[in-house]
Amino acid sequence: MQAQHLSSSDSKATTAPKPNSRIFKHPRPLLATAMIGAALIGYIVHKTPDARQRLESLAEMAQTLGDLSERDAAVVAQLLAKSIVVGAN
């Protein structure tokens, strides 16, 4: 790829980050974090049994796959332990 720079009349090559570089992150853990974050917000807002089930399932799956750290799993577990589900008996 060639990028034009205003400071020079020469074109300069640009490259994508290498997978081994420090700034590259595998997308699967990021996707898991995003999905759990969305489920967490949904549960905090709605507090329904379905929202709780979704959060529990996603957190368990991500932890099993190694995409959720123990610290993050503890935060989810702590929230679920102290939260009350609306409409549950």
Q: Is 75 part of a structural domain of the chain?
A: yes
- Within a domain: residue 47? yes
Q: Is residue 8 part of a domain?
A: no
Is position 88 within any domain?
A: no
Radius of gyration for the chain, computed over Cα atoms and rounded to the nearest angstrom: 21
pLDDT at 24: 63
Query: How many domains does the chain contain in total?
Result: 1
CA 77 to chain CA mean position, Å: 16
Instruction: Write out the chain's pLDDT in tens, 89 residues.
Output: 565 556 655 666 676 656 555 666 678 888 999 999 999 999 999 999 999 999 999 999 999 999 998 999 999 999 999 866 666 55
Domain presence at residue 17: no
pTM of the model: 0.64
Q: Residue 56 belongs to what domain range?
A: 26-82
Collapsing DSSP to helix, strand or coil, 74 comes out as helix
Looking at residue 5, its pLDDT comes to 54
> Residue 14's pLDDT is what?
72
